[in-house]
Amino acid sequence: MSSEPVCLACGMQYAAPRADCPICDDERQYVPPGGQQWTDLATLRADRRPRVEEQGPGIIGIGSDPGFAIGQRALLVRAESGNFLWDCVAYLDDELVGKITELGGITGIAISHPHYYTTMVEWAHAFDVPIYLHEGDEQWIGRPDPSIELWTGTTLDVAPGLQLINLGVHFTGGTVLHWPDGEGGRGALLSGDIVQVIPDRTHVGFMYSYPNLIPERPNVVRHAAELLEPYAFEAIYGAWWDAIVRTDGHNVVQRSAQRYLTYVA
Ligand SMILES: [Zn+2]
Ligand SMILES: [Zn+2]
């Protein structure tokens, strides 16, 4: 199906028509000045095409041209155990399913936080795979489905060589993906909005709300930095096309958390 309503501002697909979008009503997003508006996948397909581009070794960006809503792109991680989809985008059509199938399909989907849940159920059905979401964000699921598997705790080995880490930044369930075999064995962190890649690639940012400029709580940032301390990673793949820290990722995160805590304490 492709007629379920999709929020024009955030890309969240809901199971049935409704007046409001809880994601956009939340202070981490916003209802645009013109008010709440809806579209659907069939409408989006009329004037968009898939965008598939290599972003780094074994990492392929997935999105649409032009982009849509928040504008993030998903990442196809070409792990030894199979392709895994990190984060999600609202746009999906037969051409994109075909391109990904040619690349070997996907074995599962994990999403950093609710802003990128979008049409995840369409993706799960197209590839007949599970979606792994942290249970801390269960309340934000717009379209419940048996393909959704909620996980609990701080880490989950979601596939061989791929570990999810719940950092709790930005959302309670805010999660990053660590791929130790990424970047030619030097490690990659796929971070969504949880560890935000910013214009200065020697640092990253941490915010509770990006559009409304509400800083993350210091104890949450401190805890996230402690959780990431044991992990080795050279690259950090943020939420946007080309939002990528190419070198020294581990130290970039630790240095940025220290800087943050000198300003926000
Ligand atoms: Zn919305
Ligand atoms: Zn977000």
One-character DSSP codes across 172-203: TT-EEEEETTHHHHT-EEEEETTSEE-SSTT-
pLDDT tens string 46-68: 999 999 999 999 999 999 999 99
pLDDT by residue (tens digit) across 230-244? 999 999 999 999 999
Burial letters for 15-32: b for 16+ Cβ neighbours within 10 Å, e otherwise? eeeeeebbbbebebbebe
Q: What is the CA radius of gyration of the chain?
A: 17
3-class secondary structure per residue, 200-215: CCCCEECEEECCCCEE
Which domains, from first to last, does the chain contain?
Answer: 6-42+50-263 (3.60.15.10)
18 CA from centroid of ligand 1 (Å): 11
Closest listed ligand to the CA of 90: 1
pLDDT of the residue at 70 = 97
From the CA of 37, the nearest ligand is 1
| pTM of the predicted protein model | 0.98
Rounded to the nearest integer, the mean pLDDT of the chain is 97
1 pLDDT above the threshold of 60 = no
* Closest C-alpha to 191, from 149, 233, 158: 233
* Ligand 2 ion: residues within 5 Å (CB): 115, 193
Question: Distance from the CA of 32 to the center of ligand 1, in angstroms?
Answer: 9
pLDDT score recorded for residue 2: 77
Tell me, what's the pLDDT at 193?
98
Confidence (pLDDT) at 265: 82
The confidence score (pLDDT) of residue 25 equals: 98
**Distance of CA 59 from the midpoint of ligand 2 (Å):** 21
Tell me: the pLDDT tens digits for 132-185? 999 999 999 999 999 999 999 999 999 999 999 999 999 999 999 999 999 999
